[in-house]
Structures are given as structure tokens and as C-alpha cells.
């Protein structure tokens, strides 16, 4: 027996026989091309692109799920992107190299650009670029790819990685779980796995070297653990854990249409965070009260960004689908600094975490900002939308972005463009200076939303992407909790609803503490919603406030973490505290 630890990417437990899938290693010929053959070489490249386009079109015709369609459409856009095509053709013409080599160089450059980002969501998008590039290379080299749709038995899929287009061929009825060497929680594969509710663990290192076809394997997507060839005792223990989890999930499903209200009647609004349109089905099926954070920058991943019309269509589709569910809060583009977008120049910096990003970028690139605001306003005519500005550091920045918003509104009125005249505008509080002047920001905005991911790293001065100091990133640090408490109190003084949309908002260990602190709204990944609702419905507000009173007297995150973990374990058991 062997147990491997990885990253829990999609909740659930899957038990079964291994189906091992490892990508063939292809050596790309680094050939030079004679001048008279350059035109032929470029034609080979364009024929391969056309062949891949036809293949993707056939997949799109067969795709019934909206999430599958969106990924395929994105790949088709990338395949036809003028910058991609021109870059490959220029390399062939100017350097006299073969088309396969030229494609390899272009996608490697794009991937390296994304890898410099400290944002894991952006880093994961490199899989899409890799996928398209290698489809074209395979076509030029006459190499076929194994089709995972041939899987006819119920199996646990173990692979080195899964490209987005490969994941789309999976039959969820046959895949009991997925375990991958590589990948992260924000990859397209992880997003699809969560949407299809397939238990998944990624980032396992070299699990493909440690298993064989038809090995017995157990994948625990709740805690990020995989057991290979478990012994009898371990298998029995895992099956008991599996049965307990299945029973717990059935109980949670009964809460879908109930409100998140404590036993003594205190209500908390639970919303979902999304990066892509394909997550909406999971948002609705898990009973969200709306979208608390739509990360709009992922519309800009293709080189050159997104046009106003492309943005409008995306925002409108989300708003319309959520019309009978709840409002959609769209965060304006949080790009720049550590979030490098292909085709946008000047975003690479030596100190990106404190750099030219979010509203700072928008105030410098008003052309991009105005287009986005106009697209959001246009979409607001089709349902309930809210606008939220990220990384505001003080009143001056908020004033400046509000001036631009009002100018765009006036422009829409002059041109007869309909929009919600009462659209709410909120401020993310994720910079300590904004927390300290929350009383100055409150009169200028309709709501606060605490972005804990950045607030924690800025408060403790710890880069959350730096493995050497990752242990310092502590949500339960007394300084962080004092700031959160202060933001909530200042917001409520001005009758503002206060939300939280960082990872802390979806952590079951934080649930009771956040309720006791007085948050009005929590926004999280769709898969966390029902568990958080269960916790809230199992306690009283007075119990949560008593927990806060005890915690705020403590002077160490270790003591706070231990106290909360024991408190939660006594009431909810290991499913919550694992």
C-alpha cells in the first residue's frame, strides 16, 4: 500500500481500478528550411490549423454541456488568433525554421509569460495554449492522439496531465475519480471535474510511475489523498469514510433550497465565486444566492484582450442565467503586476505584488477600463448586476474610478444605451490602508467586500506564492482578524452590507467565526456552499459571538487555530475539520 498527498481539486471519494494514461513524448524536429521552401512550410502550418479547426468544430457539434462548448470555442478563437499565426509565420520566414519548431517556440514563449504570474488562475491557463499548440504540431507530424472516450468500464483515471480538450471527451458516468501528476485547483480540468462532480486530486508528483493498469486505488478529493493498492484494513477504513461522505452529501443536498439561517434566526447570504461561465451550473445546483465575485480578467486571456462585444456577451449570459437566482457582482479587471495577459505590454515588473495592477492599471489604461464599464452597464439591462472595484487603497482612487464610471454612464445615456440606473457599486477591501480608512470609503460606495487572499498577504507582509515563507500566510493571525472585525464594524456604522469573497470565506473552519464577526455575505467556490450552509444552520448567533469573544483575546494564530479546530470538531466531526 502507498499513500500520496496532492491538491484536493474536486470534492468526493472515488474507489476503483486504475486506467493509466500517459502522454507520448514527441521529439519535434529542429529543421531549417531553404528559402525556396518557406512558402510551402507556411502552407503546411495553415493546413494543420485548418485540420485542427475542423476537428474542434466536430467536437463542438457533439458538445451538449455549455461548459464544454465554451472551452472549445475559446480554443477555436486561440487557433485563429492573428498574433499566434503571424508569430509562427514570421519565425519561419525570418529564421528559416520548420513550422513545428516555430509553433513550439511561440507557445513556449506564451507559456513562459503566463508562468511569471503569481496568480495560480492565470498560470493554469497555459494548459489551453499548450493544448492548441500541440494539436497543430501533431497534425503537421501526422501523429494521432489517444481518445479517452474509448473507456467503457467504470475506472479511476490516473494520468500525467489532462489537456482541456482531452477532459472534454470523458464520459462522467465511467470516470469514478481522477488523479494527476500535475495541475492545480484552478485548471480547466479541475473546473470541469467540479462541474461534473468527479472526485479529483492533482499535483501528485509522479503517481503515474507508481501505479499499473487495473491497480486498486482510492482517490479522496476532500483532503487531497490517494491510496494505491490499499491493504484490507485500509480499504475497509476508506470505504467506511466513503460511505460516511456519501451519506453526508445526501444530507447536504436536502439543504439546497433552504436559507443559511442560524437556529436563532440570523441570516447570512451565501454566494459563489466564478472565473468562467462554465461554472454556472454548479453555482445553481449548489443553491447559491447569487454571484459574489465574477473574476472578469479571464475574458482577457487571449492575446489582445477582449472586445466590448465579447465582454458584453459573457456578462449578459451570466446575468441572464442568474436572473431568477440572485445578483451578479462583476469585479473590474484585476490585471497587471503579477497577472500577465498575453498581448498587453508593460505588465512585467520587479515587484509585481505591490505594482501596477487592478484600479491602478485601469486608471492608467482608461481606454480598456471604459470599454469594460460600458460592457457591464449594457449587460446590466438584462438582470441584476453589481460592479466591484479591486485593490482600492484610499478615497482618492475610489473617487477617480467613480468619475470614469459616471462619464461612461453619461455616454450611454447620450447614445440611447439602456442600463440599470440604480446599479450598485462596491469596493473590495484588500489593502490595509483601505481597511484603516473604511469610514472614509463607506459614504462613497454601496457595499464592501473583503478580499482576504490579498489582505492577509499585505497585512503579514508575506508573498503567498513564495514557498519559503508560505507558513507565515495565516488567516487566523490576530492582526488579520482585528482588521476584518474593524472593516465590518465601520461598514455597519454606515449601514453598508459587508461581504467576504476570499478563500477564507469558503473554509468550513472559518464559518462560525465569520458569522460571529457579523459578516452579511460570504462568497466562495460553489462546492463549499452546502457545507457552509449546514454549519450556519447548526449553530446560534450567540454561540458564534461567544467564539469570537474567546478568539479575539488570544495572541497567537496557533492558539486560535487549535481552539477553533477543537470547537468545530466537537460539533461537526472530521468531515469539516479534515
Q: Annotated catalytic sites, by residue?
A: 188, 501
Give which of 387, 376, 384, 385 is closest to 445, Cα–Cα.
387
The CA–CA distances, whole Å, from 222 to 176, 218, 476 equal 14, 12, 22
Crossing angle between the packed helical segments 188-196 and 66-79, to the nearest 10 degrees:
160
110/133 Cα distance (integer angstroms): 11
For the purposes of burial, counting CB atoms within 10 Å of the CB of 250, is it exposed (0-12), middle (13-18) or buried (19 or more)?
exposed
7/201 Cα distance (integer angstroms): 5
Q: What is the DSSP letter of 128?
A: H
Cell numbers for 244, please give them.
460516511
Report the SS3 class of residue 24. Answer: coil
19/144 Cα distance (integer angstroms): 20
67/455 Cα distance (integer angstroms): 32
109 and 172 Cβ atoms separated by less than 8 Å: no
539/431 Cα distance (integer angstroms): 32
Q: 345: Cβ–Cβ under 8 A, 6 or more apart, which residues?
A: none
Calculate ∠ Cα 95-99-148, nearest 5°.
150
- Maximum Cα–Cα distance for the chain, whole Å? 82
390 and 331 Cβ atoms separated by less than 8 Å: yes
122/99 Cα distance (integer angstroms): 27
Cell numbers for 355, please give them.
505594482
Q: Which residue has the cell 455575505?
A: 521
Report the SS3 class of residue 18. Answer: strand
Q: Please provide the DSSP assignment of 197-241 as one string.
A: T--EEE--SSGGGT--TT-EEEEETTTTEEEES--HHHHHHHHHH
133/150 Cα distance (integer angstroms): 24
377/404 Cα distance (integer angstroms): 13
361 and 416 Cβ atoms separated by less than 8 Å: no
222 and 11 Cβ atoms separated by less than 8 Å: yes
The sign of the torsion formed by the CA atoms of 308, 311, 314, 318 equals negative
Amino acid at each position: 500500500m502507498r499513500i500520496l498527498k496532492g491538491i484536493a481539486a474536486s470534492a468526493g471519494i472515488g474507489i476503483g481500478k486504475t486506467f493509466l494514461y500517459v502522454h507520448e513524448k514527441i521529439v519535434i524536429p529542429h529543421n531549417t528550411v531553404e528559402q525556396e521552401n518557406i512558402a510551402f512550410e507556411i502552407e503546411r502550418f495553415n493546413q494543420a490549423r485548418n485540420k485542427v479547426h475542423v476537428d474542434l468544430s466536430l467536437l463542438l457539434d457533439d458538445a451538449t454541456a455549455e461548459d464544454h462548448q465554451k472551452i472549445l470555442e475559446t480554443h477555436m478563437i486561440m487557433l485563429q488568433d492573428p498574433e499566434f499565426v503571424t508569430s509562427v509565420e514570421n519565425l519561419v520566414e525570418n529564421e528559416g525554421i520548420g513550422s513545428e519548431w516555430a509553433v513550439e517556440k511561440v507557445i513556449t514563449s506564451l507559456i513562459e509569460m503566463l508562468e511569471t504570474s503569481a496568480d495560480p488562475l492565470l498560470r493554469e491557463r497555459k494548459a489551453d495554449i499548450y493544448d492548441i499548440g500541440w494539436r497543430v504540431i501533431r497534425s503537421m507530424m501526422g501523429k494521432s492522439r489517444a481518445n479517452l472516450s474509448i473507456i467503457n468500464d467504470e475506472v479511476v483515471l490516473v494520468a500525467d496531465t489532462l489537456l482541456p480538450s482531452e477532459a472534454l471527451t470523458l464520459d462522467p458516468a465511467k470516470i469514478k475519480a481522477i488523479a494527476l501528476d500535475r495541475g492545480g485547483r484552478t485548471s480547466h480540468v479541475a473546473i470541469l471535474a467540479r462541474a461534473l462532480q468527479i472526485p479529483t486530486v492533482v499535483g501528485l508528483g509522479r503517481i503515474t510511475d507508481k501505479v499499473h493498469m487495473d491497480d486498486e486505488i482510492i482517490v479522496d478529493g476532500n483532503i487531497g489523498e490517494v491510496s494505491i493498492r490499499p491493504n484490507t484494513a485500509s480499504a475497509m477504513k476508506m470505504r467506511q469514510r466513503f460511505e460516511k461522505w456519501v451519506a453526508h452529501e445526501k444530507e447536504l443536498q436536502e439543504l439546497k433550497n433552504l436559507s443559511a439561517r442560524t437556529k436563532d434566526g440570523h441570516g447570512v447570504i451565501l454566494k459563489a465565486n466564478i472565473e468562467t461561465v462554465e461554472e454556472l451550473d454548479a453555482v445553481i445546483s449548489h443553491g447559491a444566492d447569487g454571484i459574489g465575485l465574477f473574476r472578469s480578467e479571464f475574458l482577457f486571456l487571449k492575446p489582445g484582450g477582449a472586445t466590448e462585444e465579447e465582454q458584453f456577451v459573457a456578462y449578459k449570459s451570466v446575468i441572464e442565467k442568474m436572473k431568477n437566482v440572485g445578483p451578479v457582482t462583476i469585479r473590474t479587471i484585476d490585471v497587471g503586476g503579477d497577472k500577465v495577459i498575453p498581448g498587453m505590454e508593460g505588465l512585467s515588473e520587479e515587484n509585481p505584488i505591490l505594482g501596477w495592477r487592478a484600479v491602478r492599471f485601469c486608471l492608467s489604461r482608461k481606454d480598456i477600463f471604459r470599454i469594460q464599464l460600458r460592457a457591464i452597464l449594457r449587460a446590466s439591462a438584462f438582470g441584476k448586476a453589481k460592479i466591484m472595484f479591486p485593490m482600492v487603497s484610499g478615497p482618492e482612487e475610489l473617487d477617480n474610478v467613480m468619475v470614469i464610471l459616471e462619464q461612461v454612464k453619461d455616454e450611454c445615456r447620450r447614445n440611447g444605451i439602456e442600463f440599470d440606473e440604480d446599479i450598485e457599486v462596491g469596493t473590495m477591501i484588500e489593502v490595509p490602508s483601505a481597511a484603516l480608512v473604511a469610514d472614509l470609503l463607506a459614504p462613497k460606495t454601496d457595499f464592501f467586500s473583503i478580499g482576504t487572499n490579498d489582505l492577509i498577504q499585505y497585512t503579514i507582509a508575506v508573498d503567498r506564492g513564495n514557498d519559503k515563507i508560505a507558513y507565515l500566510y495565516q488567516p487566523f493571525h490576530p492582526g488579520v482578524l482585528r482588521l476584518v472585525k474593524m472593516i465590518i464594524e465601520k461598514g455597519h456604522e454606515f449601514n453598508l452590507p459587508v461581504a467576504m469573497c476570499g478563500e477564507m470565506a469558503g473554509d468550513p473552519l472559518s464559518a462560525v467565526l465569520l458569522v460571529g464577526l457579523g459578516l452579511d455575505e460570504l462568497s466562495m467556490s460553489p462546492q463549499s456552499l452546502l457545507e457552509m450552509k449546514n454549519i450556519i444552520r447548526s449553530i446560534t448567533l450567540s454561540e458564534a459571538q461567544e467564539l469570537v469573544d474567546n478568539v479575539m483575546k488570544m495572541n497567537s494564530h496557533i492558539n486560535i487555530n487549535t481552539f477553533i479546530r477543537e470547537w468545530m470538531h466537537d460539533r461537526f466531526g472530521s468531515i469539516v475539520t479534515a
